[in-house]
Structure 1
């Protein structure tokens, strides 16, 4: 006869195998991160930590999360888990718009510059997100507003990185302002 005790680490059969797979996957990912971190030189810099510090920290945090997930599954599964929200199926039309924005940005950033490619990415992604909410994608005037908003976001970002932080981002002109 099995008794239920609060916090008992005994394995209970009411968990789903997929829940256990998530925890095991997290531990395996942590092991892969640790393997990668072991190949990074550990020479300490001026702050006393080397370039391998952050990868080791991420690997350790991921391993801890994986172990805690496995413990949670072995002691009864993910308790008090709400039913998933949203549609039963993915919205592939919306995903196509968002993906087009991201891929377009990656493909065009060196050709048309950071500002215009990010504005294009914003415009297409916003259209996809609207569609995913069941709203219309937007008419021509809405698309123009989205493109303007994308430029109003990306231009100051570009100027901040290029003028104040001295990070080279691809521009449209050689002046550094577009």
Structure 2
């Protein structure tokens, strides 16, 4: 084996191998969870455990392909990453706050308002990650209204058309 072959087999970052192993671990956890789902055939001859098995098998195949790619020279066709060399913690804090507040407040203030708050904070974080100003009061109100314009139809679609119960503020099911 010449030095070119040896160099191509070890030309990978440690995180690349971890990604493949991680995909296999998640596939195994999904498969383990799928074993607890009953397999009684329902509509079209498949049971409720069919999709979890398909997803775990596909994820395992991806994990095997990732590991094979790493062991044969790393991700050779991968472009250099774009963006900053370090993560933007301020932007992450805004997006995380939006998600956590949504989860904490959804049963208190309802689906529409909690999702609007999540949207407003996440957009603020995404602006910060691009180096743009996060917005003044006018922009914050505009983001909140946009969040409501997105969340309200989703809420109505799920509660009125699909009959899925989502937390609302009133008993009428419209807000």
Cα distance in 1 for residues equivalent to 2:18 and 2:174? 50
Task: State how 1:17-56 maps to structure 2 within 5 Å.
Answer: 17-56=14-53
Cα distance in 2 for residues equivalent to 1:3 and 1:130? 47
Q: Which residue number corresponds to residue 2 of structure 2?
A: 2
Count of matched residue positions in the alignment of Structure 1 and Structure 2: 173
Deviations 1:5-45 (A, max 9, x none): 8xxxxx92333333222222222222222122122211111
Cα distance in 2 for residues equivalent to 1:31 and 1:78? 24
CA RMSD of aligned residues (A): 1.7
Cα distance in 1 for residues equivalent to 2:11 and 2:145? 53
Q: Which residue number corresponds to residue 68 of structure 1?
A: 65
Task: State how 1:8-157 maps to structure 2 within 5 Å.
Answer: 12-157=9-154
Question: Normalised by the size of structure 2, how large is the TM-score?
Answer: 0.92
Post-superposition shift, 1:3? 8.0
Deviations 1:72-107 (A, max 9, x none): 112211102211111111111111111111111111
Structure 1 window deviating more from structure 2 (20-29 vs 151-160): it is: 20-29
* Structure 1 segments (4+ residues) deviating >6 Å: none
What residue ranges of structure 1 are gaps of 5+ in the alignment? 6-10
Cα distance in 1 for residues equivalent to 2:11 and 2:131? 36
Cα distance in 1 for residues equivalent to 2:173 and 2:13? 55
Cα distance in 2 for residues equivalent to 1:37 and 1:134? 43
